[in-house]
Amino acid sequence: MLPYTAIIHEKLSIILTFAYSWTSLHDVLDKKFKGEWKYLRKTIDGITPERAVRAFVELASYLRLLDDKENLSESLASRPHSELGRVVKQDGSEEPLYLRDLTNKIIHAKEWKWDVSIPDKPKLVCVSNDPKRWVAAEIEIEAVAAFCGELMH
């Protein structure tokens, strides 16, 4: 059996490192590196966010496997503040995003975008592949970190 929680923590590490450092990296780039710096910008703006999205997709897969094995969704449902973000519907309404649905939204998204407009509240936005059902899912990185941080291995 794979060590699900150890892999989840490894993927979370990549996600947190990106989500909470990207703005700082840009500040350094803008202040210290004058001129084009094409490949350094490619590293920061292309490779790094893509690697973090890949880690999130992998994290979602392992969370799903762990949920299937341990039925985490059911035990979380009874806890207050177990939301991990929100789902935006076509009519503009919103609903809370819980663990099982979070894994679905990440895995079935047609596109992923990072929202670091508020540096200490980063989000991953999953864009729907079926906008009639849902338009986007906004995943709160802090909430995911808190949940994963409680998983023991």
DSSP assignments along 78-128, one per residue: TSTT---EEEE-TTS-EEEE-HHHHHHHHHH-SEEEEE-SSTTS-EEEEEP
pLDDT at res. 152: 80
Give the pLDDT of residue 80. 73
- Specify the pLDDT at position 17: 96
For residue 87, give its domain range.
Answer: 4-149
- Residue-level pLDDT at 153: 64
pLDDT in the model for residue 71: 87
pLDDT of residue 128: 97
Total domains present in the chain: 1
The predicted structure's pLDDT at residue 115: 97
pLDDT along the chain (153 residues), means of 10: 86 97 92 92 90 97 93 78 92 95 96 95 97 96 94 77
Residue 57 near residue 104 (C-beta atoms within 8 A): no
> What is the per-residue pLDDT for 2?
67
- pTM of the predicted structure, to 2 decimals: 0.91
Task: List the structure tokens of 32.
Answer: 């210290």
CA distances from 108 to 71, 101, 102, 105, 128 (A): 21, 10, 10, 5, 7
